[in-house]
Amino acid sequence: MEVQNRDELCFPQLLNSSCKKPTFQWTETALQKILMSFISPITVALNLLVIISISHFRKLHTPTNIILLSLAVTDFLVGLVLMPAEMLRGTSCWFLGDNICVLYYYLICSALAASNGNIILISVDRYLAICHPLHYSIRITLARAKSLVCLCWLYYAVYCIFFMRYDLIQPGRSNSCIGECEFAIDHSTRTVDLILNFILPVTVILVLYMRVFVAALSQARVVHLRTTVFTLQNSINVKPRRSEFKAARTLGILVLVYLICYTPYYVYSFVVVYVTSSSYASFVFVLFFLNSCINPLIYAFFYAWFRKSVKLIVTLQILQPGSSEASVL
């Protein structure tokens, strides 16, 4: 009997402090593992294509695409590091130690927060492009977009240090036994995070896109009136505006998917004290990680430049001299 009990422990040599090995549950653990095993490599491959496309082709070096590149880097890290680590944490004993556990949760915090920042930057970019088109090229330059992205990452890196300050000082403080990787925060910190990292960003995003929507409708009416009077002049001026509207629509879909995937995660993280259903927790994490896989699919469906650049990458034409100057727009 004693040998059998030892076999059920993560660390048999530590009888009094070792965790028990997770029990196998087909409807929850195995399904989550299968989904993540399928989603993870797809997420890595698709986002790597986005990163290579925007980084390699000079025609794609625009302020908007620099923000999309930052978002793709976040999604790439989610697929490469966070999904495999979550599969390990949820289906077996944690043998990587408390320090790696804290690093894992820090990366989750950073990826989640950086995605929020990138979505805000995308919303601001589209707001200025649609509502203030004459000043857009002056206010949003390539150098300024790069600076904003760097500041975004730096801010949220520091923010996550504050958010996880207790666990960074004392790794493993949230674990009840050895072989476990858990993270717990007090209610006040959870509330502050909900406000600063979700409610305020979502409010800003929705307000900006409502103004973009109203401005787009207004400009569409003006363009329609001008078309009936100045056909020749309008044939020159309408195309750029249509491209801006199309970009706003595409990025609006990106924001909508983000809200659908991230809202359940924040709701769960806030009420986790009261909701202990592992089924709901598994669903929330899969949906949270799924967002990183959906984003590049949105680019593939709506952006012709992404499809063209992927064709050049897959056929290895980017290895040819001067391929970075290829026209993919």
CA 284 to chain centre: 14
Tokens of 63: 């302020």
Question: Does the residue 12 lie in any domain?
Answer: no
In angstroms, rounded to a whole number, what is the distance separating the alpha carbons of residues 177 and 328?
Answer: 55
Q: What is the per-residue pLDDT for 145?
A: 92
Question: Does the residue 2 lie in any domain?
Answer: no
Q: What is the per-residue pLDDT for 248?
A: 65
Question: Does the residue 1 lie in any domain?
Answer: no
Contact at 8 Å (CB) between 130 and 222? Answer: no
Question: Does the residue 167 lie in any domain?
Answer: yes
Tens digit of pLDDT at every position of the chain (329 positions): 444 455 578 777 776 778 887 765 555 666 777 788 889 999 999 999 999 999 999 989 999 899 999 999 999 998 998 888 888 877 778 888 888 889 988 988 888 888 888 888 988 888 888 888 888 888 888 999 999 999 999 999 999 998 888 888 888 888 888 888 888 777 788 888 888 888 888 888 888 888 887 776 676 666 555 555 555 444 444 444 555 566 667 767 877 888 888 888 777 766 654 444 456 666 777 788 888 888 888 877 778 888 889 888 988 888 888 888 888 87
| Cross-strand partners of 178 | 18
DSSP string spanning 279-307?
HHHHHHHHHHHHHHHHHHHHHHHH-HHHH
Q: Three-state SS for 179?
A: coil
Q: What is the per-residue pLDDT for 210?
A: 82
Q: What is the CATH number of the domain that holds 117?
A: 1.20.1070.10
Question: Does the residue 328 lie in any domain?
Answer: no
259 C-beta neighbours (distance < 10 Å), count: 14
Question: Does the residue 193 lie in any domain?
Answer: yes
At CA 144, angle to CA 201 and CA 205, rounded to 5?
15
State which residues form the domain around 81.
25-317
Question: Does the residue 324 lie in any domain?
Answer: no
Question: Does the residue 152 lie in any domain?
Answer: yes
Q: What is the per-residue pLDDT for 270?
A: 67
In angstroms, rounded to a whole number, what is the distance separating the alpha carbons of residues 320 and 312?
Answer: 10
Q: What is the per-residue pLDDT for 25?
A: 57
In angstroms, rounded to a whole number, what is the distance separating the alpha carbons of residues 227 and 86?
Answer: 55
* Number of domains present in the structure of the chain: 1
DSSP string spanning 248-267?
HHHHHHHHHHHHHHHHHHHH
